[in-house]
Amino acid sequence: MLDDVFGADQAAGSDLALADLDAACRVRANRVALAGGLFGELHDRVRSRRGYDGAIMPARHAALTLILPGLSVVLADARVRLPALEQLIARGNGMQSVERAARSPLYPWQQDAIMTLGLHADNFPSAPTSWLGLGQAPAAGTLLHVTAVHMEATAAGLTMRAVEPWSAEEWGLVEPALQSHCERAGFAWRRLTSDGVFLSCADDLEVSCAAPASVGHQELRAMQPQGRDARRLIQLQAELQMLLHEHPVHARRIAQQQAPINALWLWGAGGWPIAASCKPTLVYSNESYLRGVCSTNQIEHCDAPASLADIVPVDGDTMAVASLTRAEEVEERFFAPLLRALRHGAWRSVQVLWEEGRFDVTRRQLWRFWRRPRPLEELLA
């Protein structure tokens, strides 16, 4: 019977055989109704895997790692239902929480990308690697990221959070003062893009800095720069904070009921990237950091697509990194196309990583129809 349905698609036949065995066990356990629903859905799934000419689409030996910065914010909204995501989690190995180091020099998505490629994070500090990814040449001394943040006093102490970036007009007003002050402190101000701002110093600073995502709502004093030259950066950050507090742009933002940018966080220092052997992977991303990683290690790199449906599976490993802002886009752009691609055998396996969690699912696991999706509200409880 399997030959009549699947023809030469041996992979699909083996998947069906496993599902058939599980269904038989359920019938034996008097779960007849559930087994009947299983076979009905299985029949529909077999039909859907046929192309327009009736031929079975070939299964590929392709694996995808999807890294989604910002997914934690989307999942935090318990009112949102994401049917494709809920089904992927149910059919796969379930959602798992990820423990992060309290203090890390990289964002979570950077950590996940380096781990996926089989590289060592110490060899790819954020600022120098991103600098190369923006097409700049290596230079002597130290490079640092400059990230605009909002600091506020809470019951836990002084904390930090992300804030709406400066507009082009605000940049024009505040940047000359920042640039002048940094130069007097021995740092060159270099703004390559609206979010690609760096400080360079001719000295080789011995300093360890936490990425802004590591700081979050933790007490700020424990997250300050450390190392032999840490005091120099701490002093500069304090001076820039005072400058911003007194600047007219600060008062204007408060008057417009916008959270003001009242501090600049300096981080990402380290040596220049070191090439190393890594997993052969095709990388999709618009992040300058990953461009730098790929150029250093001669990894094939493409710009991030508008939708996961635009990624053509290849034999081997593929990694895609895409930032998220709205719940609607994550379902339409990623999880619905991902579910369709798995059903049609385009991917052998998929793992999805974000700030606080992960899940993985294989094409074969989609046959586990008895595992019904649960609302995200229940999964996150």
Contact 301, 290 (CB under 8 A): yes
Q: What is the mean pLDDT of residues 156-170?
A: 86
pTM of the model: 0.83
> What are the Cα distances from residue 133, in Å, to 205, 255, 342?
22, 38, 32
pLDDT at res. 252: 94
For residue 93, which of 307, 381, 379 has the smallest C-alpha distance? 379
Closest CA to 109 of 72, 81, 84: 72
- Residue the block writes with tokens 């910065």: 69
Task: Specify the pLDDT at position 55.
Answer: 35
Least confident of 63-67, 78-82, 189-193: 78-82
Q: What does the DSSP assignment read for 99-127?
A: ---SS-SS-HHHHHHHHHHT--GGGS-HH
Cβ contact 345:58 at 8 Å: yes
pLDDT band at residue 7 using 50, 70 and 90 as cut-offs: very low
Question: Identity (one letter) of the amino acid at 171?
Answer: W
3-class DSSP state of 158: strand
Please enumerate in sequence order all residues whose Cβ is within 8 A of that of 310, keeping only pairs 6 or more positions apart, or say none: none
What per-residue confidence (pLDDT) applies to 136? 96
Q: Average pLDDT, whole number, for the chain? A: 84
Q: Three-state DSSP class for 144?
A: strand
Instruction: Give the least confident one: 77-81, 103-107, 237-241, 259-263.
Output: 77-81
Q: What is the Cα Rg of the chain in Å?
A: 25
Q: What is the pLDDT of residue 158?
A: 77
CA torsion 89-92-97-98 (nearest 10°) is -120
- Higher pLDDT, residue 235 or 316: 235
17 neighbors 1 (Cβ within 8 angstroms): no
323-374 residue pLDDT tens? 887 777 888 899 999 999 999 889 999 999 999 899 999 999 999 999 999 8
Is the pLDDT reported for residue 65 higher than 80?
yes
Inter-residue contact 219 to 158 (CB < 8 Å): yes
Q: If pLDDT is split at 50, 70 and 90, which confidence band does 379 have?
A: confident
Which one-letter DSSP state was computed for residue 223? G
pLDDT digits 0-9 by tens, 249-294: 999 999 999 999 999 999 999 999 999 988 888 999 999 999 999 9
What amino acid is encoded at 93 in this protein? N
The per-residue pLDDT for 219 is 74
Q: Is the pLDDT of residue 31 over 70?
A: no
Q: Structure tokens of 190?
A: 């270099």
pLDDT at 32 over 60: no
In sequence order, what DSSP letters do the residues of 77-97 get, joined into one string? -TT---HHHHHHHHHTT--EE
pLDDT tens per residue across span 104-161:
999 999 999 999 999 999 999 999 999 999 999 999 999 999 999 998 877 777 788 8
